[in-house]
């Protein structure tokens, strides 16, 4: 799951990640929460949208969607071609430690921004999640679907059907290594000595 994330991107990061002029977009927000409006990345460029799809049956917006069942859910089927990504520098998860919950910040080891897969309805977006990899499982059983640069181009290409895109999301081509910090105690967590994270989705 993903309920909070951070955007701290330098101009150089933006040029590299978005292939656009650094002065065209500002991405700096310490903690993004549901219902916040932020820039998202589409195949046509960046657009500002609100995090969370509005639904009639619940007061709270839908902020996450499972990649394994996207094509089966009535809420998501109409927007499967409205694919986008959310550029982020870290996300937050709450790790259970006995009766206590510890706020945990998850970043890449080299602190480079990464793309989370998402869908939008032209006004709101929802972040796609997948089963956690071996490193993140100690914290939570779900995590954002994080895309490699090649997968970002494929995901944001709306001329390609979702069925074809889904077949190419089984495993990241360049698995990330994560730096994990317990925000409650301000300590780094070394959950695995040699983590080999990968992100997989169901092919069914």
Query: Are 146 and 176 contacting, i.e. CB atoms less than 8 angstroms apart?
Result: yes
pLDDT confidence tier of residue 134, bands split at 50, 70 and 90: confident
Which has the higher per-residue pLDDT, 90 or 8?
A: 90
Distances (CA, A) of 60 to 24, 72, 96, 98, 203: 32, 22, 24, 28, 30
What fold, for 4-188?
hypothetical protein yedk fold (3.90.1680)
pLDDT tens by residue, 158-180: 999 999 998 877 545 445 566 66
* Least confident residue range of 4-8, 142-146, 155-159: 4-8
Query: Which of 77-81, 97-101, 123-127, 144-148 is the least confident region?
Result: 97-101
* Residue whose C-alpha is closest to residue 128's, from 75, 164, 204, 177: 75
163 sits in which H/E element: helix 162-167
- pLDDT value for 198: 34
Give the separation between CA 36 and CA 41, rounded to whole angstroms.
Answer: 16
Average pLDDT over the chain reads 78
The pLDDT of residue 106 is: 86
What percent of the chain has pLDDT above 70? Answer: 73
Which are the contacts of 164, defined by CB distance < 8 A and separation ≥ 6? none
pLDDT at 194 over 50: no
Domain ranges of the chain: 4-188
Q: For the residues 54-75, what does the mean pLDDT come to?
A: 94
Q: Say what the pLDDT of residue 189 is.
A: 61
Give yes or no for a contact between 67 and 202, defined as CB atoms under 8 angstroms apart: yes
Q: Is the pLDDT of residue 52 over 70?
A: yes
Provide CB contacts within 8 A for 60, sequence distance 6+: 34, 52
């Amino acid at each position: 799951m993903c309920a909070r994330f951070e955007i701290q991107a330098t101009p150089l990061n933006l040029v590299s990640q978005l292939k656009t002029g650094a002065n065209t977009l500002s991405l700096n927000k310490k903690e993004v929460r549901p219902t916040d409006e932020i820039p998202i990345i589409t195949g046509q460029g960046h657009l500002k949208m609100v995090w969370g799809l509005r639904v009639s049956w619940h007061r709270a917006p839908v902020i996450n969607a499972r990649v394994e069942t996207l094509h089966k859910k009535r809420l998501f089927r109409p927007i499967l071609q409205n694919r986008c990504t959310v550029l982020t520098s870290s996300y937050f998860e709450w790790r259970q430690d006995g009766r206590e919950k510890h706020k945990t910040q998850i970043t890449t080891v080299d602190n480079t921004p990464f793309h989370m897969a998402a869908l939008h309805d032209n006004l709101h977006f929802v972040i796609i999640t997948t089963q956690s990899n071996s490193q993140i499982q100690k914290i939570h059983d779900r995590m954002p679907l994080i895309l490699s640069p090649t997968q970002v181009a494929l995901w944001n290409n709306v001329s390609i059907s979702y069925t074809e895109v889904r077949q190419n999301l089984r495993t990241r081509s360049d698995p990330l290594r994560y730096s994990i910090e317990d925000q409650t105690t301000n300590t780094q967590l070394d959950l695995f000595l040699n983590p080999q994270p990968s992100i997989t989705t169901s092919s069914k």
